[in-house]
């Protein structure tokens, strides 16, 4: 795993998955590697009542009912569609589910305007076709077709960004559970094996880009992942992801709790301002998601490590926040400047301490960006 920039969940947590499989006595649908109860435990973490002789840490933070509904859907005949705002952990949940169910989360199609039907069915190795003609050997199966042949989970990221032709091709796969290969005379149908399913994700902000047809919607169970609004849960997510970052970069640095509180409070303040805004010009372009908080903190930590004194400071955190969220000029800069003067400055005068340093760092960042 040391030579991978980012190991997939089944590699990263291989030891945990092997342990859970060894003690799993529950019923398993199809060819699942873990029972539904163990899949839930792997994702949400173990408790003392589970009776395990080792601790399984929580990996996804959210309502357990979302995880349970997702698991039940995968055990059914329908696909699973995780939908929500950017940065709500949809892709991470999809990866964890696939890793726990079949130990393979890498059969992924990325939906874009350029995604074609070939990306979800098959294409051809042109040189082999020229040399030997069309055959199963010269065919290049898509990740979805590979998942069908192996009876495992296929993933489709950003489903609503793909065109209607691609979405229509998914309908037959989800309903008929096979793909025809009309170019071949023999062995020209690939049937899905038991255990095959699709986990798709879609951003709710992409509504209207390529809306799903009613036929495709009927073949998915929808699980809506809300933005994390609970401060404690959001702090756990940010802390969990930050610890992963520090381990990956081999950085020995503690994130002061006061700075984590400032980061969380700043995002809460900016979300409240966006909710009360009367026009798009009064809202930051950023979605202000938990994922963006993690990005701000990562940027501040790396800046402190490489260009500072290896101590995370409020000034550095403020500079990272302003630099990450100021995407439009002058609109975003004006909103952030208003936040500094209207919210942070009174807070610094009242409490002082790290808020004062945060205000100074924010002002310097705004001045350099203007």
pLDDT tens-digit profile of 122-172? 999 999 999 989 999 999 999 999 999 999 999 999 998 888 888 888 998
| Residue 274 CA to its chain's centroid (Å) | 23
Tokens matching residue 237: 């997510």
Tokens matching residue 91: 């892709």
CA–CA gap between residue 152 and residue 154 (Å, rounded): 7
pLDDT tens-digit profile of 186-239? 889 999 999 999 999 998 766 545 678 888 889 999 999 887 777 777 888 888
The DSSP line for 38-86 is HHHHHHH---GGG--SS-----S-S-HHHHHHHHHHHTTTSEEEEEEST
315 CB burial (10 A radius; 0-12, 13-18, 19+): buried
Using the structure block, give the residue that is written with the tokens 């952990």.
89
Which helix (H) or strand (E) covers residue 124, if one does?
strand 122-124
Give pLDDT, residue 347. 92
pLDDT tens-digit profile of 261-310? 999 999 999 988 888 888 877 888 887 888 888 889 989 988 988 888 88
Give pLDDT, residue 249. 74
Measure Cα distances from 280 to 194, 275, 283 in Å.
48, 11, 5
pLDDT tens-digit profile of 50-98? 889 999 999 998 888 999 999 999 999 889 999 988 878 899 999 999 9
The DSSP line for 209-267 is SSPPPHHHHTTEEEEEEPPP--HHHHHHHHHHHHHHHHHHHT------HHHHHHHHHHH
Q: Is the pLDDT score of 325 beyond 80?
A: yes
pLDDT tens-digit profile of 7-55? 999 999 999 999 999 999 999 999 999 999 999 999 999 998 888 999 9
- pTM of the model as a whole: 0.83
Q: Is 151 left (phi over 0), alpha (psi -120 to 50) or beta?
A: left
Phi, psi of 157 (to 5 degrees): -90, 140
């Amino acid at each position: 795993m040391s030579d991978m920039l980012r190991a997939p969940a089944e590699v990263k947590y291989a030891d945990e998955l092997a342990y859970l499989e060894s003690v799993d006595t529950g019923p398993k649908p199809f060819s699942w590697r873990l029972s539904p109860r163990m899949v839930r435990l792997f994702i949400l973490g173990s408790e003392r009542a589970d009776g395990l002789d080792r601790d399984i840490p929580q990996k996804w933070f959210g309502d357990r009912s979302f995880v349970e509904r997702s698991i039940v859907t995968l055990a059914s005949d329908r696909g699973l569609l995780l939908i929500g705002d950017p940065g709500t952990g949809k892709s991470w949940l999809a990866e964890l589910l696939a890793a726990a169910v079949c130990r393979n989360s890498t059969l992924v199609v990325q939906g874009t305007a350029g995604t074609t039907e070939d990306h979800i069915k098959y294409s051809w190795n042109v040189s082999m076709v020229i040399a030997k003609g069309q055959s199963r050997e010269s065919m290049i199966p898509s990740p979805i077709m590979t998942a069908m042949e192996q009876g495992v989970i296929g993933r489709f990221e950003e489903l609503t960004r793909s065109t209607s032709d691609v979405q229509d091709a998914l309908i037959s796969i989800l309903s008929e559970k096979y793909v025809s290969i009309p170019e071949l005379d023999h062995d020209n149908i690939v049937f899905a094996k038991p255990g095959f399913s699709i986990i798709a994700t879609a951003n709710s902000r992409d509504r209207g880009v390529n809306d799903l047809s009613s036929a495709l919607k009927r073949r998915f169970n929808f699980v809506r992942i809300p933005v994390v609004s609970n401060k404690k849960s959001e702090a756990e997510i940010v802390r969990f992801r930050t610890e992963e970052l520090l381990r990956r970069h081999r950085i020995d640095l503690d994130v002061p709790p006061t700075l984590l509180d400032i980061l969380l409070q700043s995002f809460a303040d900016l979300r409240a301002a966006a909710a009360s805004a009367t026009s798009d010009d009064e809202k930051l372009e950023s979605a202000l998601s938990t994922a963006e908080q993690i990005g701000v903190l990562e940027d501040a930590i790396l800046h402190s490590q490489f260009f500072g004194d290896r101590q995370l400071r409020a000034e550095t955190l403020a500079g990272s926040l302003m630099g990450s969220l100021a995407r439009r000029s002058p609109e975003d800069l004006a909103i952030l400047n208003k936040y500094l003067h209207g919210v942070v400055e009174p807070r610094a005068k009242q409490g002082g301490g790290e808020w004062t340093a945060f205000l100074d760092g924010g002002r310097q960042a705004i001045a350099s960006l203007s």
